[in-house]
Amino acid sequence: MNQHSTITSSYSGLRSISMLPLARSFVTVVLSTVVLIIVCSIFAPSSVSLGALEGSLPFAAVIAIVGLGQLLVVQQGGFDLSLPGAVSLAVVVSTHYPQQDNSLLPMAVVVALGFALVAGVINGILVSIFNLNAIIATIGVNALLYGAVFAVSGGVPSITTTLLAEIAGGTTFGIPNSVFFAAAALMVVSFMLKKTVMGRRFEAIGANPLAAQAVGLQVRRHQMMAYVLAQLLYCMAGILISGITREPTAFQGDTLLLPSVAVVVLGGTSLLGGRGYPISTVIAAFFLNQLSQFALAVGVPYSAQTIIQALALGFGIGVYSVRWTGNSSKQTKNVKMEDTNDLQVS
């Protein structure tokens, strides 16, 4: 204990926000990304050319946004398998409803957001009020969302509106607009988590719901909020996809489920819940997307992309599991054992 300096009133000297808790995952993911960019520029320079980035960044942005949504749910110890249906529904609503009529687009966006709210509330009620297993509840809601997808689209793709293509698919100062959307989503999520009472409670509840319950926080309400906000983010991602892709399919969300989980894990958030790292998650989205680009550039067939994602997920868990052992049951038990032992000799 001697190595701890006794701090009394000098606490105020520590005003600068220390990056300690953030540092680990942040450093890991930034370093990996830098290494990847270096590797790319040596072995597949085409994948980091400006043109290639302009083409691939929108997809990274979409992954970042769904990743942020999944992050909120995972942080509360949940898991959201309704992401594919949610994204697909937002895609078909924002393409089928206006049928290339720009004036109908705002209404379409409102309708899509309405669907997202409803889906989020249903997920939240099933998980936090009825205590259903998050996987089962979100699998069921995913099926319902796909029901809606078919009701809206009949399963066939529709061409996107020019307005949406301009907004979501265009560029500003040479940067794809979708990147700005992702940045905005990141800022909102980060601000909410770090700077609002609600967000800070949300983090505490995710880190230990029992401790939060013991001080009288509204655990269920916050858990429910996670599912609603996640749906809104999925909806945003879906609408962006409609703008980025000329003729998006009705199953656009299917390929996003694993990347959403992978970036959450690569960003350093434990799948068992706890603190979430929004910035790292967004960087991880860029990393994952760039990894795919690199693989394509060096000639890995497109069909093998998912294998790379699976490996990335495995790698992420492998890297952080060393660090996150504090969450695994075995380690917790050891901690508890020591405690009781202390007690026995006290």
Partner 1 sequence: MKIVAAKKLIVKANDADAPVSGDVTIALTNISKFYSGVPALRDVSVEFYAGEVHAILGENGAGKSTLMNVMSGTIFPELGDVTFEGKRVTNMSPEIAASLGISISFQHPAILEDLSVLENLQVALPAALFAGQSAQAVAQKMLDAVGLHIPLRTRADELTVAEKHLLEIAKALAINPKVLILDEPTASLDQDATDMLFGRIRDVVKRGTSVVYITHRLAEIRQIAQRVTVLRDGRKRGTGLVKDFSDAEILAMIVGRTLGSAFPPKSKNTATESAFSVVQLGGKGFSGVSFDMTRGQIIGVAGVAGNGQSELMRALAGLQSSTGTIKLDGLNLKSKELLQEAAFMPSDRHSEGLASGLSVRENASFAALEKFTTNGIMSQKKELSGVAATFGSLAVKTASLEAPILSLSGGNQQKVVMTRALLSDPRIIIADEPTQGVDVGARAEIYRILREVSDKGTPVIVNSSDAAELEGLCDKVIVLSRGRVVDTLIGADVKEAHIVAAAVNAHGHADEGGTANGVKATGGWRHFLQSDNAPAVPLSLVIILLGLFVFSQNTNFLSVFNIYNILMLATALGFIAMGQTVALLMGGIDLSVGPLVGFLVVVASFFINDDKSVATIAMGFALMFALAFAVGAINGILIRFANFTAIAATLAVYVALQGMSFLLRDQPDGYINARVVELVTWQWGPLPVAFIILVIFAVVGEYLLRQSKLGWQLRATGSDEESARRIGVWTDGTFVGGYILSSLLTACGAIMLMTQIGVGDPRQGVNYTLASITAVVLGGTSLRGGRGTFIGTVLGAVLLTEVLNTVTFLGLTQTYQYIFQGLLIIAAALIYSTVRRSAEA
CB of 298 to partner 1, least distance (A): 16
Cβ distance to partner 1 smaller for residue 154 or 170 = 154
Cβ distance to partner 1 smaller for residue 105 or 189 = 189
CB of 252 to partner 1, least distance (A): 15
Residue 281 identity: T
Q: Which stretch binds partner 1 (CB under 8 A): 42-50, 89-97, 219-227, 306-314?
A: 306-314
Contact between 299 and partner 1 by CB under 8 A: the answer reads no
Q: Which stretch binds partner 1 (CB under 8 A): 14-22, 51-59, 173-181, 288-296?
A: 14-22
In whole angstroms, give the CA distance from residue 143 to residue 150. 11
**Helix, coil or strand: residue 171:** strand
Residue burial 45-83, b: 16+ Cβ < 10 Å; e: rest: eebbeeebbeebbbbbbbbbbbbbbbbbbbbbbbbbbbb
Site for partner 1 in 203-242 (CB under 8 A): 203-204, 207-208, 210-217
Residue 18 neighbours by CB distance under 10 Å? 9
The two three-digit tokens of residue 32, written as one number? 């990996």
Contact between 27 and partner 1 by CB under 8 A: the answer reads no
Q: Are 263 and 284 in contact (CB under 8 A)?
A: yes
Site for partner 1 in 265-284 (CB under 8 A): 265, 270-272, 274-275
Cβ distance to partner 1 smaller for residue 34 or 187 = 187
Q: Which stretch binds partner 1 (CB under 8 A): 50-58, 92-100, 282-290, 310-318?
A: 310-318
Q: Would you give the binding string for partner 1 spanning residues 129-148, x where CB under 8 A is met?
A: -xxxx-xxx-xxxxxxxxxx
The angle formed by the CA atoms of residues 256, 262 and 263, to the nearest 5 degrees, is 90
Cβ distance to partner 1 smaller for residue 99 or 328 = 328
Question: Which residues, in sequence order, are bridge partners of residue 171?
Answer: 176
Q: Would you give the binding string for partner 1 spanning residues 169-208, x where CB under 8 A is met?
A: -------------------------xxxx--xx-xx--xx
The two three-digit tokens of residue 111, written as one number? 């309708």
Tell me the CA distances in angstroms from 253 to 34, 140, 146, 248, 260, one per residue in order. Answer: 29, 16, 10, 10, 11
Q: Would you give the binding string for partner 1 spanning residues 75-104, x where CB under 8 A is met?
A: ----x-------------------------
The two three-digit tokens of residue 259, written as one number? 């990347």
Rg (CA), the chain: 22
The two three-digit tokens of residue 235, written as one number? 């909806």
